Amino acid sequence: MTNELKNVPELRFPEFDGEWEENSLENINSFSKGKGISKKDISEEGTPCILYGELYTTYNFMVNKVKSKTLLDTKNLVRGYKNQILIPSSGETPMDIATAAVINTDDKLLLGGDINILTPKEKHDGKFITLSINGKYKRELSKFAQGKSVVHLYNNDIKKLKVKFPLNIKEQQKIGDFFSKLDRQIELEERKLAKLEEQKKGYMQKIFSQKLRFKDANGNDYSGWKPEQLNSIFTKYQNTIYLDDNEEYKRISISNKGKITHRDIALGKVIGRKRQYLIDLQKYPDTLTFIRQGVFLGGIGFVPNSLDGHIVTENMPLLSMSEKYNKRFLTYLFVSETYYKSVIVKNLPTGSAQKALHEKDWLQSFVNIPIYSEQEKIGDFFNQLDKLIEKQSDKTELLKKRKKSFLQKMFV
């Protein structure tokens, strides 16, 4: 719902009207500091407590349940109360420490050092002020941060920040409650995503260690997996080209999760090595590649069809897979713990020199492989599981985007 008045949000609950008022945080809060609890004081039992770093790493905008505890004597420490706003006074980046969290529990809790505490005055809601800081005013607050390697944000600077808010506290509270429900929904979807990812991890361990097996169409066990040398599965090919200074070439990049993407388009004259290799998916449709220095971290994967004709350096071998093997199965094999132990660990170089795995040594390594029909079932199983994970991830991200949009439209 829109309004043509100046100080009103783009989107508003219909039962409220009137302009919002601007005021500094100093006039609508009292200020204090946390005291004396650090990481070394955390224990499994004791009084719930909050550390300053948790405000931008552990909690969202609202503290419903305190996750850390301490056995320190509470007598000389600072207690936190519901509706108080917490802002870290130390952190790595200005945007980190320009992060607020509101206490939303009546449980007894303690507030550690390097925490700025804002206690809202009458007719001001802590959830609303916190949402304002984290939304419209986050970047502005971050400008007050001081320092380089470690940045600081002090109460005297936070007091200067001016925010706009409705005079009716019921409107403040309704906005706060709306985002509380939205955050609970996001948290629920994140838990579902984490559960799916944990399930995949468990299946990866059980299936590739052969503790969990598929059966054939008749319900019978497949034959046992057999060790095979990687050079019986892959064959290296080289389409050598020499770069022309005035021609453009497409390059790829590989992430440590094995995702291969388009990197850039560059003129030959700006590319250091003039001898490169051309990816040919017409002739070699199932082409695998890796970075010799990055394969230890998971930088290995099959080249997607969209990257046909891109170039790679000599540090990225091109390996064509035999038709006798299933690409999906091998994709998941290469991210399994079994593969890591049997190929990566055995080829880890000793010494302090930069680690690199040459394809000659990689191809001589052995992996355990089932018959093709079981490979197919395993590949399809994990592919379906990945689709569920992707769908759940997209759902979670959509909710986060909606929250961001609401933060922009429901505040002045």
| In the chain, where the domains are located | 21-167, 169-221+370-412, 226-369
Asked if residue 352 has pLDDT above 60, the reply is no
Please give the Cα distance from 286 to 392 (Å, whole number): 29
Q: Which residue blocks in 83-168 are alpha helix, DSSP H?
A: 94-97, 126-134, 138-142, 155-158
Asked if residue 351 has pLDDT above 70, the reply is no
Asked if residue 253 has pLDDT above 60, the reply is yes
* Structure confidence at residue 2 (pLDDT): 47
Q: How far is CA 398 from CA 49, 67, 100, 119, 194, in A?
A: 32, 27, 23, 33, 16
* Structure confidence at residue 3 (pLDDT): 47
Burial grade of 322 (CB within 10 A; 0-12, 13-18, 19 or more)? exposed
The arithmetic mean of pLDDT across residues 110-115, rounded, is 95
Segment 114-153, tens digit of pLDDT: 999 999 999 999 999 999 999 989 999 999 999 888 899 9
The arithmetic mean of pLDDT across residues 393-400, rounded, is 97
* Structure confidence at residue 28 (pLDDT): 96
The two three-digit tokens of residue 236, written as one number: 């290296």
Asked if residue 401 has pLDDT above 70, the reply is yes
Please give the Cα distance from 182 to 410 (Å, whole number): 14
Q: How far is CA 229 from CA 39, 233, 397, in A?
A: 48, 7, 41
Could you tell me the fold of the domain covering 169-221+370-412?
Helix Hairpins (1.10.287)
Mean pLDDT of the chain, nearest integer: 94
The CATH number of 21-167, from 3.40.50.1820, 3.40.50.2300, 3.90.220.20, 3.90.1150.10, is 3.90.220.20
The arithmetic mean of pLDDT across residues 390-395, rounded, is 98
- For residue 360, the Cα-to-chain-centroid distance in whole angstroms is 35
Q: Give the number of C-alpha atoms closer than 13 A to the C-alpha of residue 403, restricted to the C-beta side.
A: 23
Percent of the chain with pLDDT over 90: 88
Asked if residue 20 has pLDDT above 50, the reply is yes
Structure-model confidence comparison of residues 238 and 353, the more confident one: 238
Tell me the CA end-to-end span of the chain in Å, nearest whole number: 14
Q: Give the containing element (helix H, strand E) for 386.
A: helix 372-409
Sign of the CA dihedral 141, 143, 148, 154? Answer: negative
Segment 305-339, tens digit of pLDDT: 999 999 999 999 999 999 999 999 999 999 999 99
Please give the Cα distance from 163 to 140 (Å, whole number): 10
Asked if residue 161 has pLDDT above 50, the reply is yes
* Structure confidence at residue 349 (pLDDT): 75
Q: CATH assignment of 226-369?
A: 3.90.220.20
The arithmetic mean of pLDDT across residues 278-306, rounded, is 94
Q: Give bridge partners of residue 312 from the DSSP assignment.
A: 277
Least confident of 3-17, 51-65, 82-96, 153-167: 3-17
Asked if residue 239 has pLDDT above 90, the reply is yes
Domains 169-221+370-412 and 226-369 belong to one CATH topology: no
Percent of the chain with pLDDT over 70: 98
Q: Which residues contact 170 (CB under 8 A, 6 or more apart)?
A: 16
* Structure confidence at residue 353 (pLDDT): 61
Segment 370-381, tens digit of pLDDT: 999 999 999 999
* Structure confidence at residue 13 (pLDDT): 96
Confidence of residue 4 (pLDDT cuts 50, 70, 90): low
pTM over 0.95? The answer is no
Please give the Cα distance from 192 to 197 (Å, whole number): 9
Q: Count Cβ atoms below 10 Å from residue 349 Cβ, excluding itself.
A: 12
* Structure confidence at residue 6 (pLDDT): 80
